[in-house]
Each structure stands twice: as structure tokens, then as C-alpha cells.
Structure 1
């Protein structure tokens, strides 16, 4: 028996015209609230008084700023009794939530800039939700179950089938079978009192992009609607204050929109109000499957709570041979965005116009040839290593070095795009001199809840990339007989872009273009998760003494003066006006 409490709190943000996070579109701005956005939290305590906090937020992603501020405030409340390793912050990945919540610069550009009131409101809601959940703890039994979506339920499709079919460990599917090229299993943790289901956590990977980038309102999208439907269903059964979390699993290459013949034509028929109806229907599919799953046999969870968390610098990892597919000297590199990233995805959200993408491809190719044909150049070796790590990616933005096609960011003419105009504005005022554009030091985490190990990943893992991580962790935990399930939760604790398999990366679709640390990113994650799983098997005291268990690495603090310069302080109309006039 566990002590478990749960709670949900609305995020108190009034839409004021800031761009939402997800599509990276300057024009995708919020002027109204369609649905409330919530923080939902569970606090679970075992018989040894170990506590696990699982918190899910209706946002596009978690940022280090969110996690760091949350940890600081919980430490202030609980002191040494709070173990930050046992806190999971995850996001539903709705693309219709507030932006401007990161201290790093790049993904805040459309907002425009950092919006401190957004970050404060989110952290306030997280803290209130967690503290209330702790106050509500009561004796509770926990059960696990799984259920697969029937093949005819139109809930999700693989949006990158050519990349998926490159994997040697998959059944190859045609463009008429994209709904099968994904993990159709939903995994569930149910919380019972008096033998009645009270609340639950669902894990199922599908992008929260039912709503497109032409809408103007905050909305929870499919995951938000799924939670609302499930909570109402439990209320109708007499349950008081139920909380249901619909979190993400391997959603990286999984879309809620049809992918196949005439995919754009079909997508373009869903407009305006129909998009909200479509999101609701997708959420209803998820809610109905979750509730149905609890009608089937359940596995009761018993045993201890434990967790390991380590911050890893993904920009410089040597890949062990077992994960390098026979390659010698494989390494990750500084984060780089490929042209495919700027092109976006054809159905979920197009990026830059095709003529501009063609020009970017040409320029990136020419730049690569230039950098690799002069062995005596001072930077020849560095670029050889960079391209060895980044493989076939047509690098446009070297986010780590803050260069576009080898030139310091800020050089492109502002007339090309309002986002470039905003970047140039920030550079001009000295807002990105020392600040990173994107995170490179990110948290990897494994949670143990009795017989369940939950792998918590800070990025968007594709279906097969996630399966390989799970396989790696399972191999380590195989000797631990009472851990018999390994599940994966994505969008946890920070945001590091995408993670594809090595084979998928070679396709350089959107997901590969946004796999920042190169073609060995997944291999690096597997090697680090393997080590974390080994640490989980050790006793806590022994683990703390193990020098291999990195508890000291952390992202460098963002210079306060630069953060202030990236903050709009209410000058939204001026910034947006400048961009639209460009």
C-alpha cells in the first residue's frame, strides 16, 4: 500500500498576443483562451517514506528554467527531505500553449523573447499543484495495465515513413499503412481506493498538433481533451476530484493527422472550428481506450520507490562500440540545426517556403564543400569532426557556435523573415553574447515504482529510437527480477529537440534535421541510460560514492544582464509591429 495524493491547478496566464510554442511561427499568436491549461500532479510515497512526484503540464515542453525554479522552491519547503532525483516534470506537448518560457535564446525568438510572467505563472501552478497533492495523500493501491488501439481507430500515423523503413529492426510498411508504423500501445498506471479507480496516468505517443498554426487561442489539444473527458467520466461514476494525466511516450514521428495518399488535401479540409472538433475526437479516442483498459486484468504494483538522475553534456560524448554500429571514433558534436528543421513537416506544420529551403540547401552544400577541401585551413580538423558527427545533415545553423553558414548569427538581412529580424534585434542589444541558443547539458532520469522502471527523456524520441532505449535499459535490469516492466516518458525535465535512430537520421527528414547532436545522438543516450540503469541497481549509499554517477554537472547559469535584454517587458506591440513590417 502507498500513500498517494493528486491535484490539478490552472496555469494563470492571460493571452496577450505572444506567440505560442511549438510551430515556431511568428504569426501563431494567442489572443484568447479556448480551454484552460493545467498542471496535474501525483505524489506517491512508499513504506520507507520515499516520495515520487510526477507532474504533467499542458505546455509544448519543459525548460531547465521551469525545473530549476521548481526544485529551488521545493527545497525551500522541504529542505533535505526533498530529493530532486524523484521529481518528474513532463509536458503534453500541446502546440497551443504559451511560449517564451526558456532562458536559452533560440526557441523564444517567435514569442518574441523571454516572458518572465509566463515562467512565473507556470512555476506557481506547478508548486501549488505539488503541495496540494502532498496534502491530499491517502492510502492507495496502484495497478498497471496496457491496451492497444485497434487498427481501425484513426488516432495516429507515422509521419516519416521513409525514415522509419530505413531501420533494419522493423516491419516495412507502405504509405497506406502509416498507422501501423508506430507503437499503438497505451500504458497506464491506475490509482485505486476502496477497489475503485480514482485517478490514473496514461502514456501514449502522438503529437498534440490536431490544432494547426493558424488558430489564435490557448488550448490543451488532444491530450488536454483526453484528460478532461476522463476526469468527467470518473466524476460521473461518483469519484471526487479525479486527476488524469495523458502524458507522451514515443511521439517524435507520430502525428494525429492522416499520412498517406492525398495527405495535404485531407489535412486542409480540417479548418477553424473543425480543428477543435478534430482535437476533441482524438482526445476522446485516448480517453475511451484508457478507461476501457481498466476493465481488463491488472498488475498490482508493490515495492520501493527509487530514482537516478544525471545531467549529461550531449555535445561531446564518445560512443562506446556496442552502440556505434561498428563505427570507430564515433562522437556527438555541438548542436546544429539542419535545413530540414527549417522546412518543417508537410502535414503538421510547414516551415520556410520551398524556394527559400532550396536556396538554404544549396548554400549549406557549398559551405560544406568549402570547409572540407582545404586541409591546411586552421579550422579544417574541427569541421571534419563536426561533419563526421553530423553526417548527411545540411547544417544551416551551428547553434553551439552561434553561426549561420559559418558567419556569426545576425548576418542575414532582416527582410527575409521576422524571426531573423528578432534575432538581429537581440544580437544588436547584446542579448546572446554568452547565452546558449539551445540546451546542451540535459537531464536523463530513470524512476522506479515497484516493478516498473520509467525512463524519462528530455526530447522527442521517435518510435524506434524509444524502443531501443527501452531495450538497452531492460538488458541491464534483467537481473533485477522484480522489475518486469520498462516504459518510456518523453518531453521530461527539459527540451533537447529530436532523437532519431542512426538509420532514420540518414533520411534527413524534419526529425533528423532537428536531432541536434548528430547521427550518434541516440547512441549517446543509450550509453548514458545504460549507466543510469546500472546505478539504479546499486544501493543508494553506494551509488552516491560512485564517481561514475555524475551528480555535479549542471547547465551554466544564463547571464542575468542578457536575460533582461531578451525580455520584452510588455513591449510586445512594438516587437510584433517591427516584425510584421519587415
Structure 2
């Protein structure tokens, strides 16, 4: 979910719309089909945690939610597949613990990757065969987005953020490239029914009764999973399940992969504890646009009454209409995250031990094109897509995180005139043209983003559409937006019907929607859901026929697997070129100076741990520290402690904290860093230039520890007028007893 908080409105300056352009050169030729009985596969993972410290998080679009610490580092997980008979024709799927995807980041990642490979190997990878899908965690720093609407909600782009994410993606692909080998790849699916609810039931119920009758639920319960094994055993899994990673709520200041990141972390941890350090588990996103993990549902915070974010919720104050996750009353959003993540993990592990279909007997292939959505004409003389625009209900937020309370979900009367303040603000920015209003009806337009291009395009006009097939059993749709449950069902059905008609896949093939892939263009609902104009529909950028347009485009891609070439550009398939890089804006004040209280130095401990603890206790320490945007540990500040395996436990290049155990010879060995669920690092500004950091370690929560003597260490870098210096500090030793 991406919502516009009221505090974001001041920055909505003036801007227009996006770029164009994709393959003007007409049809391109592709290899013909061949069959083999096995696949080549590789897996890889890398840290992508960008700079933190007063960086607005991407997802809730609340300027008050800043990334000021780390609970669970975020990662990229990469998977390469190829047919042994055509090893150079490969596909790369990457799942990232980010709020959204960025086509600029994807291209940067491809460029980084190529720079690390030989000329021959570099030719294997390009943007056409690399799909980057965001899990949509709402607990990751922003600052990397492509278009102004999404940039301004996180105060612009942040230096080193795109680079950190792109370099991590490249490193994950490089690791996968290095271990590509003959593998047994299987696919399976099953239902998970206790990890999600539909947060927009009124919209879902607007779909035809006959269509709804085909399904047993208003949520998409299906989890589809690929599993990779080789001669050494289990190598990796990737699955797709529809649920929003919003278990960590809008008040959370700590970086986290949320419920999907927790599920990945736990399975990888379990495998490492078995000695399988190479295992990579991605819990990727699917058609979860209207799906929430907050199972207790929305209730008014003051009365406990059931609500849904419409005009009458909580006496007309939708800010009080909030949904909570399971266990929230007992353990807050952290426990909710653990519960929803654990349920996804349990289902995934159940699937891994059940019946599987081996992927063999077909090609591994891909298609990719840039299309200009606002030029798209529906077939059969249907309407043209609209230029982008966002509705009033976009600003209402959802029941997972309501907006400022000056609008509501379900506002679908474009002629009501009931928002004089919004109309005033909107018209200062850009009064929508009559044509735009007519095209988007019944959406009352708040932001005429398709008619705004100052200082940069506000929303994309050109979208990347991409599809993979992996033998005759799996097709993966790289969908460049969030898509609702019923819209996703229609998309999958239409694409499978096309693939079957072309004899490209078997009848039992599974079609997967990889949501939020390659760029971000907000939401896609069904035509019927659009009429209701709840949050998801108000955020459907290209008008009431947005879904129909996407289905038409992806059917064209699907059919091209049979014809072996993409068609020339037409009004029904308006290919264009990748958008050019824009002049990004940055509204953040740089870190100028770090200072310490009188008599203290950087790394000084202001509150020591107790002398003894036992498993289950939480160790806490406070430090004099520096702004985390300056950086974390360096090889020098880590010193000559032991690093088992030669690197930090989380695999990142640096860390803000470690848990260290004293060995018999007196040397210290790193047991944990800031990458795991058992530790938290939290920073706070004190006055103008001073900082305080809190380190916590819950002993044995997910990683069992042996009794012994331990300490916590903090790492940072302080900036003076002239130079930035790395520093560290350690607590007194304390004892963990059995």
C-alpha cells in the first residue's frame, strides 16, 4: 500500500507525466522451442539495506515514519533458470525486501552486474531477462523511486540509496550466476487461509456474483512455490503469496522485511543451523493489492466498533478506524509480524515436503517491452487508456494506515463538490482537464498526475511489462503495480487461456503474478471495483479500464512465445522506449556535524547491561553515538575479533552492532550483528548535533546461544567540519547463564 498522508501535501509541487518509448524497431526474433528433461539453476542473496537516519520509509508515505534503526536487514534474493540445451537463454527472478521496484535501480543493477563479469558472461544478462519484484515491505527506507509522486512522499531521493539497493541486487545475481548448475526444479501449490483478510470487501462484493461464486473466499489463498535441489540437497525456494507486508505498523521506526522478510529469515536460519549455508528462501509478492495481514480487522480505536474507513466510520473520523494483526494486544506489531510470517513459513515448508511437479520438457524464455499506457487503445474499438490521475480516496489511506481524515474510502461522486479544501489545493497544483475528468469518472480527481510534469513526471506513462516461462509448467507475470485479488484472478485466467491456445504450456501449468515488478504505478482493480472508489480504486492510475489494458498487453506478450517475435508498435500495443533518467530532488538536510555531551566520547556507554542474564531475557545498553547516515562499522573498528566464516553473520559489509562472546583465550568472537531478529539498533537525535543509540539483544529468541561471557558493541562514524571518522564502543562484559 502507498498512501498520501496529509503532511505530504505541502510538497506536491508541480509536475507532469512520464516518458515514453520502448522498442521502436518493430518485431524482434526469438529462439524456437526445444525440450530437455532438466534445468540449470542458481541462487544468491545479498544485503540491500540503504542509508538510515531520518529517512522517510516507503509505503505508508507518512513523513513522521523515519528509518531510525534496524531490526531485520533487508535483502535481495536472486534465482537463475535456464534449459541445459540453451544455457545462454536464461531468466533471472529477484525478490527484494523493498516497498516498491524502480526501473532505474534495475538498470543500475544490470550495469553493476555486467561490470563484474567477463564479456561473454555479461552478455547473458540485461533488463529484458531480469525481473525485480518488491515484497512491498512498509519498513524499508525510501529515497530510490523513479517518479515525483513517490519521491516527494519520502522527501526525495537519498544519496547512496539507489546504489546500495542496485549493488545488492547485482551481488545476489552474481552469487546465483556463480553457482548455476544442473538442478531438479519442482513446482507445487497449496492454500493458506489464516494469514490474510480482504480489507476492501465492499469493492470485492461489487464484482459479478457469478464470478465470485467460482471462488470460496474473498482472498487469494494460493501459494505457488518453486523448489531447487541438486546433488548436495536443498538449494533454494521461491514462493508467491498475496498479502501486504504491513504487520509492522505506521509507528515503526526500524528497518524490517516485515512478515515476508521474517519468513525468509527463519527458513534460512533453520537451514544454516543444519549446515546448509547456501540456502536462499524468497517469500515474494503476488496479487495482494487489497489483502491485509491484520486479521483482527478494522475497529474504532475509541469504541471498538467495527468500521471500514468509509464516510461514516467512527463517527466520521476515519483516523480512528485501524486494523490490527493477530497477537497485537499481547506483543504489538512485532508479534503480529512473527505470527503472519510463521504461518507463511509453515505452509511453504509443508509444500516442500509434499507432492511436486518437476519442471522439464520445455524452454526457458522471456519477453519484455516498454509500453505507453496512455496511448493504449483497447481492441475492438474500445476506449483508450487515461493519462494517470489519483482520486480523493487515494488520500484516505486504508484501514491498515488511515490518512489525515479529510477524505474517506468510497468517495465516488465526481460532481459532489464536497472537498473545497482539496479542490483548492488540487487546482493550485493543476486543475484536471475536462477530458481527464471524463476519462476517470466516477473517480473524483485529487491529483491530475498525468498532466503534471514539474519538476519531473509525477507518475509513469511508460510501463515495463515482462513475462517468463519456465518449461511448460510455469509462467511468471512481472506486473508493474499492486493488483487486487479478483483483478489478479482475471489476469491469470486470461494469460493461461492464451498460453494454452498457443500450446505453449500444459493444462496443469501455474501462472504466477509477481507483483510490484520493475517499476511502480500504484494499483490495478477490476472495472467493478473501480466504480466503488475505495483506496485501491482511487489509486488505480489509468482509469476504469486499467485492468483490461494490462490483460491486453500481457496477452500480447504471452502470444509472442508462440510467434517467436514481439509485434510492431500499434495502438493496441504501443511500444516505446525506457524513460530517461529524471533530475531527482532531495529535500533532506545533510549531516553537517556530530558532537558529544561534555566529558563523553563517541562510543561511550551511558547505560550498561546488568551483570547476568538467562535465555529469554533482553539485554539493553545505551551509547553516545553519531548520525547513522554517516556509516556503520569498518574493518578497522571491527578490530581483530573473530568473524566465523570470515564475514559478518548477516553477510553485509558493515553493521551498527554486534553481540560478541568471549573465547577461552580471551579473544572475542562475533555471534550476531544487526541483521537478525534477536537484535535491534535504534538511533535518536539529541538536541542539534548529539545522538543517542540503544542496542537490544533478546537472548535465544531465534538463535540459540551457549552460556558464557558476552558483550554488546556499537559502531558508527562521526562527522566533523573537516573529516568523517569511524568509532566503536563496547559494554562491560556480562554473563549468560544456562
TM over 0.5: yes
Residue matched to 1:427: none
Q: Give secondary structure in 2 for the equivalent of 1:19.
A: strand
**1:366 aligned onto 2:417:** yes
> Gapped runs of 5+ residues in structure 2?
1-37, 299-304, 308-320, 421-429, 594-684, 686-738
Q: Which moved more, 1:441-450 or 1:72-81?
A: 72-81
Q: Give secondary structure in 2 for the equivalent of 1:81.
A: coil
For the residues of structure 2 that align with 1:265 and 1:131, how far apart are their CA atoms?
42
Spell out the pairing of 1:162-311 with structure 2 (5 A cutoff): 162-168=202-208, 180-194=217-231, 196-258=233-295, 259=297, 262=306, 264=321, 267=324, 270=328, 274-302=332-360, 303-311=362-370
Is the CA contact (8 Å cut-off) linking 1:215 and 1:272 kept in structure 2?
Answer: no
Task: Specify which of 401, 404, 419 is matched with residue 352 of structure 1.
Answer: 404
Is the CA contact (8 Å cut-off) linking 1:143 and 1:300 kept in structure 2?
Answer: yes
For the residues of structure 2 that align with 1:201 and 1:88, how far apart are their CA atoms?
14
Q: TM-score, normalised by structure 1?
A: 0.82
**1:60 aligned onto 2:60:** no
For the residues of structure 2 that align with 1:310 and 1:283, how far apart are their CA atoms?
34
Spell out the pairing of 1:271-420 with structure 2 (5 A cutoff): 274-302=332-360, 303-321=362-380, 329-346=382-399, 348-354=400-406, 365-366=416-417, 383-402=433-452
**1:474 aligned onto 2:496:** yes
Q: Give secondary structure in 2 for the equivalent of 1:146.
A: strand
Q: Give secondary structure in 2 for the equivalent of 1:532.
A: helix
**1:509 aligned onto 2:546:** no
Q: 1:221 to 1:383 in 2, by over 3 A?
A: same
Is the CA contact (8 Å cut-off) linking 2:287 and 2:514 kept in structure 1?
Answer: yes
Give RMSD over aligned pairs. Answer: 3.2
Structure number with higher helix proportion: 1
Task: Specify which of 164, 171, 189 is matched with residue 146 of structure 1.
Answer: 189
Q: Which moved more, 1:10-19 or 1:453-462?
A: 10-19
For the residues of structure 1 that align with 2:330 and 2:165, how far apart are their CA atoms?
28
Deviation sequence 1:221-279 (CA, Å, 0-9, x none): 00000111222233345433210010011100100012377365762983795201110
For the residues of structure 2 that align with 1:167 and 1:196, how far apart are their CA atoms?
45
For the residues of structure 2 that align with 1:42 and 1:134, how far apart are their CA atoms?
9
Residue matched to 1:529: 554
Deviation of the 1:12 alpha carbon: 4.0
Deviation of the 1:75 alpha carbon: 4.6
Residue matched to 1:405: none
Task: Specify which of 91, 95, 98 is matched with residue 141 of structure 2.
Answer: 98
**1:493 aligned onto 2:518:** yes
Q: Which moved more, 1:131-140 or 1:390-399?
A: 131-140
Deviation of the 1:192 alpha carbon: 1.2
Q: Which moved more, 1:88-97 or 1:5-14?
A: 5-14
Residue matched to 1:114: 157
For the residues of structure 1 that align with 2:246 and 2:94, how far apart are their CA atoms?
21
Residue matched to 1:570: 590
Residue matched to 1:43: 80
Deviation of the 1:212 alpha carbon: 0.7
Deviation sequence 1:523-567 (CA, Å, 0-9, x none): 11011111111112122xxx167556979622432444xx2x436
Spell out the pairing of 1:10-49 with structure 2 (5 A cutoff): 10-47=47-84, 48-49=86-87
Residue matched to 1:417: none
Deviation sequence 1:299-339 (CA, Å, 0-9, x none): 00012210111111112322224xxxxxx652221111101
**1:483 aligned onto 2:505:** yes
Deviation of the 1:51 alpha carbon: 1.5
Is the CA contact (8 Å cut-off) linking 1:157 and 1:180 kept in structure 2?
Answer: no
Q: How many residues align?
A: 515
For the residues of structure 1 that align with 2:579 and 2:356, how far apart are their CA atoms?
44
Q: Give secondary structure in 2 for the equivalent of 1:280.
A: helix
Residue matched to 1:462: 484
Q: 1:545 to 1:388 in 2, by over 3 A?
A: closer
For the pair shown, the structure with the greater C-alpha radius of gyration is 2
Deviation sequence 1:454-512 (CA, Å, 0-9, x none): 11101000011111111111121113445132221111111010000000000000000
For the residues of structure 2 that align with 1:572 and 1:471, how far apart are their CA atoms?
55
Q: 1:552 to 1:69 in 2, by over 3 A?
A: farther
Structure number with higher strand proportion: 2
Deviation of the 1:163 alpha carbon: 0.6
Q: Which moved more, 1:490-499 or 1:258-267?
A: 258-267
Q: Give secondary structure in 1 for the equivalent of 2:328.
A: coil
Q: Give secondary structure in 2 for the equivalent of 1:197.
A: strand
Q: Which moved more, 1:158-167 or 1:190-199?
A: 190-199
For the residues of structure 2 that align with 1:312 and 1:513, how far apart are their CA atoms?
22
Is the CA contact (8 Å cut-off) linking 2:219 and 2:291 kept in structure 1?
Answer: yes
Q: TM-score, normalised by structure 2?
A: 0.65
> Gapped runs of 5+ residues in structure 1?
322-327, 370-378, 403-431, 578-582
**1:433 aligned onto 2:472:** no
Is the CA contact (8 Å cut-off) linking 1:8 and 1:243 kept in structure 2?
Answer: yes
Q: 1:201 to 1:132 in 2, by over 3 A?
A: same
Q: 1:136 to 1:333 in 2, by over 3 A?
A: same
Q: 1:363 to 1:311 in 2, by over 3 A?
A: closer
For the residues of structure 2 that align with 1:169 and 1:456, how far apart are their CA atoms?
29
Deviation of the 1:220 alpha carbon: 0.7
Residue matched to 1:408: none
Residue matched to 1:374: none
Q: 1:266 to 1:130 in 2, by over 3 A?
A: closer
